[in-house]
Amino acid sequence: MKKIFFLPVILLLVFSFSACEKDESLDPLPLLVQGQFMRLDITRDRIDANNLETSSFGGMLTNPSNDVVRYELLVRLVRTGFSSEYIPLGDPLTSFPQDLAITAQKVEDAYLAVGTNVTIQQGDKLRFIGYSYNSQGVRAAYRDLSTTVRSEAGYKQAYRFNCAVEADLKQTVNNYETY
Q: What is the mean pLDDT of residues 108-124?
A: 94
- Could you tell me if 102 and 165 are in contact, meaning their C-beta atoms sit under 8 angstroms apart? no
Q: What is the pLDDT of residues 123-163, one digit of tens each?
A: 999 999 999 999 999 999 999 888 888 888 888 999 999 99
Closest C-alpha among 122, 100, 120, 134 to residue 169? 122
Choose between 144 and 172: higher pLDDT. Answer: 144
- C-alpha dist (Å) from residue 52 to 48, 55, 105, 141, 151: 6, 5, 8, 30, 31
Parallel/antiparallel/unpaired status of strands 46-48 and 160-166: parallel
Q: What is the pLDDT of residues 1-22, one digit of tens each?
A: 555 666 666 666 666 655 555 5
CA separation for the pair 106, 129 (Å, rounded): 16
Q: Is the pLDDT reported for residue 55 higher than 90?
A: yes
Q: What is the mean pLDDT of residues 90-106?
A: 96
Q: What is the mean pLDDT of residues 60-79?
A: 95
**Predicted local distance difference test score (pLDDT) of residue 179:** 57
Report the percent of the chain where pLDDT is more than 90. Answer: 62
